[in-house]
Amino acid sequence: MSADRPNWVEEFESKGYAVIEDFATAEECDEMKAEMYRVMNGLDITTEHKTVFSTGEDQQQLKDDYFLTSGDKIRYFFEKDALDEQGELKVEKDKSLNKVGHALHWHSDVFKRFSFSKKMKGVMKGFRLEDPAIIQSMYIFKNPRIGGAVCPHQDASFLWLDPLKLYGVWLAVDDATLDNGCLWFIPGSHQEGKLDGERRMLRVTKKVGDEERVTLKHVGISPTPDDALYTACPVKKGSLVLIHGMVMHKSESNLSEKPRNAYTLHVIEQKGTVWSSENWLQPTAELPFTAMNAN
């Protein structure tokens, strides 16, 4: 490995994912968790729109403006099992959320400082990106006994650009273990260079009466890879997991008594690429995709 390329690059190029241990300090992780609970405490459960987040076929967000317009805001998405049939919470507020997204990197000083830090920009140099931009950020809770599974998927199914230069950056705010829902990958699956089943989630416009309404739909076939192909990726608190946009990955439900909080970003190369107008996520006048080198 040449001196100008980090030691994780070879593993990432081969497997489609890599781990950088001790990327964040325990103090940084604790600060992010405290900041998220501060943000969450501002949630008025009696007035907030209760959108359940799922990666399965029954996604409420496919037809939900609350999700579609969340790219430049901080919004709250609940676990399916946290709500009763009337949409009321069955558990405490701090145990009810699936994730908070999608612009924490811009609207929270704590997450912004980490997202645009010198060491995060160093990761982008490892990817050899000339004009990297953060397109979205999320805090994922995976709470004890209620944090649901994330079905097999490739990030590019939801966030397409041509040529594909899409990277997930996933920070373990807690230890991620086999019991509490660590990530699982199919090593090398990114090398096929295509979407399994040509699966995409597309933004479409429908005519409803005299109005045009934007909604989402799935096309293609849901991937169902053989479980034997997966490799578990348990990591310690503070580890950074780098994820190629084409690598197949998933996570299981949290069956333990311990949380598996994570902070994640998606980053693209802006130079020489075209962002799909069919993606659910689109830059806005209020928040264009935020260039890392300019911050």
* Region 38-53 average pLDDT: 69
Sign of CA dihedral 12, 15, 21, 27: positive
Task: Give the pLDDT score at 207.
Answer: 79
Task: Give the pLDDT score at 135.
Answer: 98
Q: Which of 56-60, 198-202, 273-277 has the lowest mean pLDDT?
A: 56-60
Q: How far is CA 200 from the centre of its chain?
A: 16
Query: Which tokens hold the place of 187?
Result: 């090593």
Task: Give the pLDDT score at 54.
Answer: 52
Distance (Å, whole) CA 23 – CA 277? 34
Q: Which of 138-147, 193-202, 211-220, 231-240 has the lowest mean pLDDT?
A: 211-220
Distance (Å, whole) CA 114 – CA 116? 6
Residue 53 has pLDDT above 50, yes or no: no
Residue 202 has pLDDT above 90, yes or no: yes
- Beta strand segments in 163-210, E: 166-172, 183-185, 200-208
Task: Give the pLDDT score at 192.
Answer: 94
Closest-CA residue to 151 (of 57, 283, 60): 57
Beta bridge partners of 232: 184
What is the per-residue pLDDT across 174-188, written as a single tens digit (0 to 9) for each?
Answer: 999 999 999 999 999
Task: Give the pLDDT score at 20.
Answer: 98
Spell out the alpha helix ranges (H) of 92-154.
93-96, 104-107, 109-115, 118-126
Task: Give the pLDDT score at 90.
Answer: 80
Single-letter amino acid code for the residue at 175 = D
Closest-CA residue to 231 (of 185, 188, 190): 185
Q: Higher model confidence: residue 249 or residue 47?
A: 249
Residue 4 has pLDDT above 90, yes or no: no
Beta bridge partners of 127: none
Task: Give the pLDDT score at 46.
Answer: 67
Residue 33 has pLDDT above 60, yes or no: yes
Rounded to a whole number of angstroms, the CA Rg of the chain reads 18
Residue 1 has pLDDT above 50, yes or no: no
**Which domains does the chain show, CATH number per domain?**
9-294 (2.60.120.620)
Distance (Å, whole) CA 50 – CA 63? 13
Average pLDDT, the chain: 91
Q: Higher model confidence: residue 113 or residue 51?
A: 113
**Which residues, in sequence order, are CB contacts of 271 under 8 Å at separation 6+?**
130, 131
Distance (Å, whole) CA 21 – CA 263? 15
Q: Are strands 74-78 and 51-52 parallel, antiparallel or unpaired?
A: parallel
Query: Which tokens hold the place of 221?
Result: 């076939």
Residue 47 has pLDDT above 70, yes or no: no
Q: Which of 60-69, 216-225, 230-239 has the lowest mean pLDDT?
A: 60-69
In total, the chain counts a number of residues equal to 295
Task: Give the pLDDT score at 49.
Answer: 56
- Confidence label for 89 from pLDDT (cuts 50, 70 and 90): confident
CA distances from 92 to 98, 150, 275 (A): 13, 22, 39
Task: Give the pLDDT score at 167.
Answer: 98
* Region 256-282 average pLDDT: 97
Residue 146 has pLDDT above 80, yes or no: yes
Task: Give the pLDDT score at 270.
Answer: 98
